[in-house]
Amino acid sequence: MQQKWPDLSYQKGKATYDTLHMFTQIVGKIKLATLPWVNHSWHVTLYITPSGLTTHNMPHKNENFQIDFDFIEHQLKIKTDKNEFRSFDLHGISVADFYQKTFEKLGDLGIDVKIKPVPVELANPIPFKDDTFHATYEDDQVAAFHIALLRIQEVFMEFRSGFKGKCSPIHFFWGGFDLALSFFSGRRAPKHPGGVPGMPDWVAAEAYCREVSSAGFWTGNDSLPEPAFYCYLYPEPEGYKTATIQPGGAYYHSTLGEYILPYSKVQQAENPGKVLLEFLNSTYHSGANLAKWDRELLED
């Protein structure tokens, strides 16, 4: 966990992140269309690989296929259990191009999947087929993002190893473009009010139907224009927002309702993994204690 972590910049990477976000939404929606619903939307997520992101296996009629983002060769790759393979380059194409190419390649393989062709979790989404605005793919920004995901996943795995209750995989949500890990108390939670842009209220209500402590990482947005780690509890216990959280530089973001640790604070540390693990443990321990989780049952 002491290895060097890459520099990430929201300002330098924003155009690439925004384009890649839409690329992953298209692929994620294909996964959504092929699999039965799993609680908390865990069936739709992507997973980190040594070369990028993957859907893992998806069934289609009498065959199976997988879609991979290769961030080393910078290609989208589709393969089937019949040893068929299609790919295309990610450079210099818009979201509209990506949408067209993806479904052309699937059609070549005899895979007919229908998706709702509009992004989710955005206030003013552009339909994929009309999105020629997002068309930036810079190799260095993508490569740094991928290496950061690998480093973060390693620390999340260490954090995950101490929890014995219901726990999510370490997975990538294409809706919010974030890597996430969630722990659950085992108790029911009050109904979530919804109100997430581009998301049906029932999806949010189902996702938060149990008490949860979630931690994650995302590349930033207009409300928080920097890559950052986050942690929140639902429902948030009284006193959580004023708890003492480590390390220095972590703070409670009142608009987002989350604790935030800027990625730069981790990346610049002598031991980045240790600093991130301190944040993950500090936010979880404070929240679980305030919410009176049965930590003896969940951790011993």
Instruction: Note whether 293 and 155 are same-domain residues.
Output: yes
- Give pLDDT, residue 71: 98
Instruction: Note whether 89 and 195 are same-domain residues.
Output: no
Query: Which of 130, 152, 170 is the last residue in one of the domains?
Result: 130
**156 found inside a domain:** yes
- Give pLDDT, residue 2: 61
**2 found inside a domain:** no
Query: Which of 102, 130, 158 is the last residue in one of the domains?
Result: 130
Instruction: Note whether 199 and 279 are same-domain residues.
Output: yes
Backbone angles phi, psi at 213, to 5 degrees: -120, 115
Share of the chain above pLDDT 90, in %: 96
**5 found inside a domain:** no
Backbone angles phi, psi at 215, to 5 degrees: -125, 155
pLDDT above 70: residue 165: yes
- Give pLDDT, residue 197: 87
Whole-prediction pTM:
0.96
The residue count for the chain: 300
Residue-wise pLDDT for 27-52, tens only, equals 999 999 999 999 999 999 999 999 99
Cβ-based neighbours of 71, under 8 Å, separated by 6 or more: 51, 52, 53, 142, 143, 145, 146
Per the structure, the count of domains in the chain is 2
- Give pLDDT, residue 6: 97
| Average of per-residue pLDDT across 133-141 | 98
- Give pLDDT, residue 100: 98
Residue-wise pLDDT for 7-24, tens only, equals 999 999 999 999 999 999
Instruction: Note whether 45 and 167 are same-domain residues.
Output: no
Instruction: Note whether 115 and 196 are same-domain residues.
Output: no
Domain range for 167: 139-299
**3 found inside a domain:** no
**1 found inside a domain:** no
- Give pLDDT, residue 33: 96
- Give pLDDT, residue 222: 87
Query: Which of 84, 113, 130 is the last residue in one of the domains?
Result: 130
Instruction: Note whether 104 and 176 are same-domain residues.
Output: no
**80 found inside a domain:** yes
Instruction: Note whether 14 and 113 are same-domain residues.
Output: yes
Please return the burial class of 245, using the count of CB atoms within 10 Å of its CB with bins 0-12, 13-18 and 19+.
buried
Residue-wise pLDDT for 181-236, tens only, equals 999 999 999 999 999 888 999 999 999 999 999 999 999 998 899 999 999 999 99
Instruction: Note whether 119 and 260 are same-domain residues.
Output: no
Instruction: Note whether 17 and 121 are same-domain residues.
Output: yes
* N-terminal to C-terminal alpha carbon distance within the chain: 25
pLDDT above 90: residue 3: no
- Dist CA 32 CA 39 (whole Å): 13
Instruction: Note whether 51 and 126 are same-domain residues.
Output: yes
Instruction: Note whether 226 and 84 are same-domain residues.
Output: no
**226 found inside a domain:** yes
Instruction: Note whether 67 and 192 are same-domain residues.
Output: no
Residue-wise pLDDT for 56-78, tens only, equals 999 999 999 999 999 999 999 99
Residue-wise pLDDT for 76-109, tens only, equals 999 999 999 999 999 999 999 999 999 999 999 9
- Give the DSSP per-residue string, the chain: --S------HHHHHHHHHHHHHHHHHHHHHHHHHS---GGGGGG-BEE-SSEEE---EEETTEEEEEEEETTTTEEEEEETTS-EEEEE-TT--HHHHHHHHHHHHHHTT-------S-SS-SSPPPGGG--S-----HHHHHHHHHHHHHHHHHHHHHHTT--SSB--SEEETTTTEEEEEEEEEEE-PPP----TTS-HHHHHHHTSEEEEEEEEE---SSS-S-EEEEEEESPPTTGGGS--SSTT-EEETTTTEEEEEHHHHHTSSSHHHHHHHHHHHHHHHHHHHTT--HHHHH-
**32 found inside a domain:** yes
